[in-house]
Amino acid sequence: MQFDIGSHLASRVQCTIGSMTIKTWLDIATQEADRRGLPALKPLLETLARATASLRSADWNADATGQFETTTTRTDAR
């Protein structure tokens, strides 16, 4: 039996190949929303991208280098 891994997962696999910035994610997500016939999703994805940028910039986020991750800027969403 074959399983369709789904367009969402395919997009994420594609994301992980290159730099996984929020902008990259937003571009791919927007394209996929268009492909799925959901263009009205675009402004919501932009809202989500801004919220994600804010979440990632919070000072509780640790990173594997042992440093607190404080370099991600909220403008990363654009």
Binding residues vs other proteins (CB under 8 A): 8, 12, 25, 29, 33, 38, 40-41, 44-45, 47-48, 51-52, 54-56, 58, 60-61
Nearest to 26 by CA among 9, 7, 38, 44: 44
The minimum distance between CB 3 and other proteins, in angstroms, equals 14
| Angle at alpha carbon of residue 52, lines to 73 and 24, rounded to 5° | 75
Q: Which is closer to other proteins, CB of 23 or CB of 56? A: 56
Distance between CA atoms of residues 12 and 45, nearest Å: 15
The minimum distance between CB 51 and other proteins, in angstroms, equals 4
